[in-house]
Amino acid sequence: MKIGIVGLGLIGGSLGIDLRSQGHQITGISRQETTCKTAIAKGIVDRASTKFDLLQDLELMIVCTPISAIASTIKQIIPHLNTDTIITDVGSVKSPIVKECSQLWSNFIGGHPMAGTAESGIEAAQANLFTGAAYVFTPTEQTKPENIAKLKAIALDLNAVPYICDAQIHDRAVSYISHLPVMISASLIQACLQEPPDTLQLAQILASSGFRDTSRVGGGNPELGVMMAKYNRTELLRSLYSYRDNLDEIIDLIEAESWDSLAGVLKVNGEERSKFLN
């Protein structure tokens, strides 16, 4: 398939590597000439340009810019596309993007590959990033079934697991498993920083795998974290309030020295956790 990728960063670059290795012909678009050269040199794309005139004859266009730039990017590329080109995005929030972009292009289908790292930019692009991960698509009533079938096939080429759902339900679920953890992890690091210098220094020396696991997502790309909060604000606030209520319950149990009740909560969590990690 002839595929275009706009935004050759972590996700766009990683998609390019894997899709190209599956025999797809990849055209990359970057705002910077140096990124185009790097993308070609690293084998991420077959060809690349800072202009949009290479976009004719593409079957699929994947928009991999930050969430705030997805709709404006689509507006810019539309005059250069064939009318039957499918446009999808990879933004971590779906409802507002699907709402706006479906109006711009009838063959738009929202997408979200559920994989990433704390790095950003083309240098962070890596092979096999999506292996085993869910790849969500959020069609609307107007979506042509054959277009969804093509996107599912692309997800399978990435060794990802395609999953179809409603954009709003996606945003609510993803808030709990992706956006809320970023905020919790960030507030954990912030809480540590409130400690006096001698305690903080010792904590930094002693921190090991437990802290590495729980702080990892809070130390990632700040721009992405702000975008999650801005574009998924309602669902993120809902999950944060629920988290705060649960934290208050744990505080109450500890203050009341209700060790059996606390053990009960921890036991349930131990049993339930595995269901999120299959």
Among 66, 243, 253, 262, binds ligand NAP (CB under 6 A): 66
120 scored as a contact of ligand NAP (CB under 6 A): yes
Whether 178 contacts 228, CB under 8 Å: yes
Site track 217-246 with ligand NAP (rule: CB under 6 A), x = hit: ----x--x----------------------
121 scored as a contact of ligand NAP (CB under 6 A): yes
Nearest to 86 by CA among 63, 64, 65: 63
Nearest to 106 by CA among 141, 72, 63: 141
d(CA 109, CA 101) in angstroms, rounded, equals: 8
Paired with 112 in beta bridges are 136
Whether 138 contacts 109, CB under 8 Å: yes
Q: Which tokens is 239 given?
A: 């999950």
7 scored as a contact of ligand NAP (CB under 6 A): yes
**Among residues 58 and 74, whose Cβ is nearest to ligand NAP?**
74
Site track 84-113 with ligand NAP (rule: CB under 6 A), x = hit: ------xxx-------------------xx
| Residue 188: CB minimum distance to ligand NAP, A | 19
16 scored as a contact of ligand NAP (CB under 6 A): no
| Residue 96: CB minimum distance to ligand NAP, A | 12
Whether 16 contacts 41, CB under 8 Å: no
Q: Which tokens is 16 given?
A: 């390019």
**Among residues 76 and 204, whose Cβ is nearest to ligand NAP?**
76
Among 16, 110, 111, 116, binds ligand NAP (CB under 6 A): 116
Residue 50, classed as helix, strand or coil, is coil
23-52 residues in contact with ligand NAP (CB under 6 A) are: 30-32, 35
Q: Which stretch binds ligand NAP (CB under 6 A): 9-17, 157-165, 198-206, 250-258?
A: 9-17
Size of the site for ligand NAP (CB under 6 A): 26
Residue 77, classed as helix, strand or coil, is helix
Residue 271, classed as helix, strand or coil, is helix
d(CA 182, CA 110) in angstroms, rounded, equals: 22
Q: Which stretch binds ligand NAP (CB under 6 A): 4-12, 130-138, 147-155, 235-243?
A: 4-12
- Strands 134-138 and 108-113, sheet pairing: antiparallel
> What is the binding site for ligand NAP (CB under 6 A)?
7-12, 30-32, 35, 64-67, 69, 73, 90-92, 112-113, 116, 120-121, 221, 224
